[in-house]
Amino acid sequence: MSGDFLENTQYYVDKAAKALDLRADVTKQLKTPHREVRVELNIQMDDGSVGTFIGFRVQHDDARGPFKGGLRYHHHVDAEEVTALASLMTWKTAVAGVPFGGAKGGIAVEASKLSQGETQRLTRRFIDGIHDIIGATTDIPAPDVNTNGQVMAWIFDQYSKYHGYEPGVVTGKPVALGGSVGREAATGRGVVYATQELLHTLGMKIDEQRVVIQGFGNVGTWAARDFVEAGAKVVGIADISGGYVNDEGIDISAAIEHVAKNRTLEGFGGGKHVDGDALLAHDCDILVPAALGGVLTKENADDVRAKIIVEGANGPTTPEADEIFAKKGVHVIPDIYANCGGVTVSYFEWSQNMQHFYWELERVNTELQRVMKRAYANLNETRAKHECTLREAAFILGVGRVKEATEMRGL
Ligand code: NAD
């Protein structure tokens, strides 16, 4: 799957390069990752045994600023998946117009099987392995699947042991350690801002939309809350335990409370339990994949009834499914724009850390919305100029900006 993911990412970069009329050598330079690191991580497990894991950090491009990207703890993590995700970060930061490059990292591990102590030891050991290639002006990790503010706090602490106090080395930190207010909500909130931009273009109202969200972690829960707050009805949610649908509207606060107590939605009584595929095909106006990649494929794309897909997750749609959606007239808001709210507020957090001056929540949200509006306007102009889909426009915009910076810096 991860091999396909990398291939799919490169496919869109090649397509953008063609639209921009780039030379083959330039395209090759843009696609090639700067550095790929693989580290062996040995830790003591709670039962006294030694656990051996593999950690990855891929730094894809830093022409526009320090490498930037999340850390994922998941058993699917491998070199190719991390490389694909790192590449997406390069184009995403360029689309958002924030002064960062792209990177990604992760550890291949069944995160749900680790205790809190094991997770902490694994995180610290990972930083022992990569501390000399990360830093506030070089490479700045952040949360992704199965990592959160606590994991970022351990990263900050472990890094400080080698390099002294440098909160800007990682974003998504708890507010008590120099994190930004509004960072935890930012990706999901940005998903809703992105949706509002498209709805505005289409002359549609958010309070008339029925939404299904796959993935009920950081991105999914915050998107759900903000959709409801904007007046939309969330009629389906899902996590690793399956889907839950309720056409009257799901009580999102009750679902979040359930997960806080039970770790997953398993046993949630606020909706009818359905399997993952049925959830994606459930009758709704907007579908938000906010879990893992590769979930919308040529096998299930025709079953999707939503008219709008907003990619909270990275790489949820395969190119074949994307083509089917384009033919069906389904609007797809691509990951490298739809979920850029996270890296945008990470940028705000980082700049607050660099200045030691902290913002109020209202300023964070206003600035986030401003960035998302500006990026959407740029996307729309690009789409009109190249007569293409929003995804193609996003890659054309991202690749074009990175190419410009690369060329100006020279060899
Ligand atoms: P998370 O670990 O907080 O949540 C992941 C959720 O997906 C969980 O609810 C999990 O149960 C669910 N899930 C896992 N496998 C599933 C399956 N097979 N079917 C249905 N649900 C499943 O992760 P997150 O930070 O919310 O990230 C979700 C996605 O958003 C990822 O693709 C990530 O790369 C992307 N993303 C995250 C951020 C961020 O700031 N956290 C930013 C941009 C993009």
Q: Residue 274 maps to which CATH number?
A: 3.40.50.720
Do 202 and 334 fall within a single domain? yes
Residues 231-245, mean pLDDT to the nearest whole number: 98
> Is 187 close to ligand 1, i.e. is its CB under 6 Å away?
yes
Residues 101-111, mean pLDDT to the nearest whole number: 98
Do 207 and 276 fall within a single domain? yes
- For the cut 80, the answer to whether the pLDDT of residue 18 exceeds it is yes
* pLDDT of 395: 98
Q: How far, in Å, from the CA of 294 to the mean position of ligand 1?
A: 13
* pLDDT of 315: 96
* pLDDT of 399: 98
Residue 369 included in any domain: no
Do 157 and 196 fall within a single domain? no
Closest Cα partner for 6 from 84, 122, 85?
A: 84
* pLDDT of 353: 98
Handedness of CA 372, 281, 208, 188 (dihedral sign): negative
> Is 214 close to ligand 1, i.e. is its CB under 6 Å away?
yes
Quote the mean pLDDT of the chain. Answer: 97
Return the residue whose CA atom lies nearest to atom 31 of ligand 1. Answer: 313
Mutation test residue for ligand 1: of 114, 144, 244, 265, the one with most atoms within 8 Å of CB: 144
> Is 352 close to ligand 1, i.e. is its CB under 6 Å away?
no
Give me the domain span that covers residue 61.
2-6+34-169
Do 198 and 68 fall within a single domain? no
> Is 146 close to ligand 1, i.e. is its CB under 6 Å away?
yes
- For the cut 90, the answer to whether the pLDDT of residue 1 exceeds it is no
Do 192 and 101 fall within a single domain? no
Report angle CA 369, 389, 346 to the nearest 5 degrees: 30
* pLDDT of 207: 97
Do 137 and 280 fall within a single domain? no
> Is 314 close to ligand 1, i.e. is its CB under 6 Å away?
yes
Could you report the per-residue pLDDT of 293-321, keeping only the tens digit for each? 999 999 999 999 999 999 999 999 999 99
Whether residue 104 lies in the annotated active site: yes
Give CA–CA dist 139/251, Å, rounded: 39
Do 149 and 277 fall within a single domain? no
Q: How far, in Å, from the CA of 72 to the mean position of ligand 1?
A: 10
- For the cut 60, the answer to whether the pLDDT of residue 119 exceeds it is yes
The dihedrals phi and psi of 60, each to the nearest 5 degrees, come to -85, -55
> Is 312 close to ligand 1, i.e. is its CB under 6 Å away?
yes
> Is 141 close to ligand 1, i.e. is its CB under 6 Å away?
no
Name the catalytic one among 92, 104, 173, 233: 104
Return the residue whose CA atom lies nearest to atom 35 of ligand 1. Answer: 313
Q: How far, in Å, from the CA of 371 to the mean position of ligand 1?
A: 23
Q: Residue 127 maps to which CATH number?
A: 3.40.50.10860
What is the position in ligand 1's atom list of the atom closest to the CA of 221?
26
Do 227 and 144 fall within a single domain? no
Do 209 and 95 fall within a single domain? no
203 exposed, middle or buried (CB, 10 Å; 0-12, 13-18, 19+)?
A: exposed
Contact between residue 4 and residue 383 where contact means Cβ atoms under 8 Å apart: no
Could you report the per-residue pLDDT of 243-270, keeping only the tens digit for each? 999 999 999 999 999 999 999 999 999 9
- Among 305, 338, 371, the domain-final residue is 338
Do 209 and 159 fall within a single domain? no
- For the cut 90, the answer to whether the pLDDT of residue 3 exceeds it is no
Residues 364-389, mean pLDDT to the nearest whole number: 98
> Is 239 close to ligand 1, i.e. is its CB under 6 Å away?
yes
What is the position in ligand 1's atom list of the atom closest to the CA of 143?
41
Residue 86 included in any domain: yes
* pLDDT of 2: 56
Residue 206 included in any domain: yes
Q: How far, in Å, from the CA of 215 to the mean position of ligand 1?
A: 6
Half-sphere exposure of 333 (CA within 13 A, CB side): 32
What is the position in ligand 1's atom list of the atom closest to the CA of 172?
40
Do 161 and 289 fall within a single domain? no
Could you report the per-residue pLDDT of 183-207, keeping only the tens digit for each? 999 999 999 999 999 999 999 999 9
Q: How far, in Å, from the CA of 276 to the mean position of ligand 1?
A: 14
Number of CB atoms found within 10 A of residue 404's CB: 13
Residues 44-48, mean pLDDT to the nearest whole number: 98
Give CA–CA dist 381/148, Å, rounded: 36
Q: How far, in Å, from the CA of 402 to the mean position of ligand 1?
A: 27
Q: How far, in Å, from the CA of 379 to the mean position of ligand 1?
A: 25
- Among 141, 169, 197, the domain-final residue is 169
Please state the domain count of the chain: 2
**Owner of token pair 């070199």:** 79
Predicted TM-score (pTM) of the model is 0.97
> Is 9 close to ligand 1, i.e. is its CB under 6 Å away?
no
The answer for residues whose C-beta is within 8 angstroms of residue 45's C-beta and 6 or more apart is: 51, 118
Do 108 and 248 fall within a single domain? no
- Among 338, 356, 390, the domain-final residue is 338
Residues 206-226, mean pLDDT to the nearest whole number: 98
